[in-house]
Amino acid sequence: MKNILITGASRGIGKSIAYYFARKGFNVVGTARSEFKFMDADFKGTFTPLKLDVTDRDSIKDAFSLLKEKELLPDILVNNAGITADQLFLRMKDDDWDNVLNINLTGTFNITKMFIKQMVKNRSGKIINISSVSGLMGNAGQVNYSSSKAALSGFTKSLAKEVGSRNITVNSIAPGFIDTDMTEYLDEKAKLDLESQIPLKRMGNASDISELVYFLASDEASYITGQTISVDGGLFMH
């Protein structure tokens, strides 16, 4: 039974990925900044919720030791933890920039740096970074968020080139507008305006992302690495 570690697993896309893999029989370790639980009788695998701040390197070291002891070091790593602090650039506070970059980008560095070592030793592993269409096309009011997510594409490509010879693949997924609690703040008119810009005329579901994560984590995707794959209903086309 393989192990998967998913950051930001208490809600939204991360929660969907955690449930998906647990139902497929994986040992799932999910992290969040606060205490959380998962309850589901349909799990074929195991689920271990873990309170973890991706910006706290000492906390990550402790998590590594704990998971090593429990034989739960990840074969698959999903860097999903992320926040937004939207504001027009001229009004953006320094903390809005620092916090978003620290969690979305540096947090990915921190987690990957710690857990990739075992993958290199095993000469096997899958790393999947959850980016955003905002990092590909930009979005007004999201200079901080778009910058952090655009940087993940460079992170993904460079790391993929470094560890490919160790049989480790590194890919990124760029979701478009997905129907989660991060889009709940939109009123009906805003949602309709948004959907009118999407060729498929609807927002995506969290399961659309989970299914792609599952594919990229599988042996069937063993020759795919260094890619950023959009799941956005055609909103942004390269």
Per-residue model confidence as pLDDT tens digits over 20-42? 999 999 999 999 999 988 876 67
For residue 43, pLDDT over 80 is answered with no
pLDDT tens for residues 106-132? 999 999 999 999 999 999 999 999 999
Q: Just list the catalytic residues.
A: 145
Single out the residue of 23, 19, 53, 21 nearest to residue 35, CA to CA.
Answer: 53
Let me know: does 99 contact 83? Beta carbons within 8 Å. yes
As a whole number of angstroms, the distance between CA 122 and CA 62 comes to: 21
How confident is residue 184, by pLDDT bands cut at 50, 70 and 90?
low
The pTM is what? Answer: 0.95
Q: Which of 8-17, 126-135, 185-194 has the lowest mean pLDDT?
A: 185-194
For the chain, domains (ranges, CATH) are 3-177+206-231 (3.40.50.720)
Least confident of 9-13, 125-129, 161-165, 166-170: 9-13
Burial of 39 (0-12, 13-18, 19+ CB in 10 A): exposed
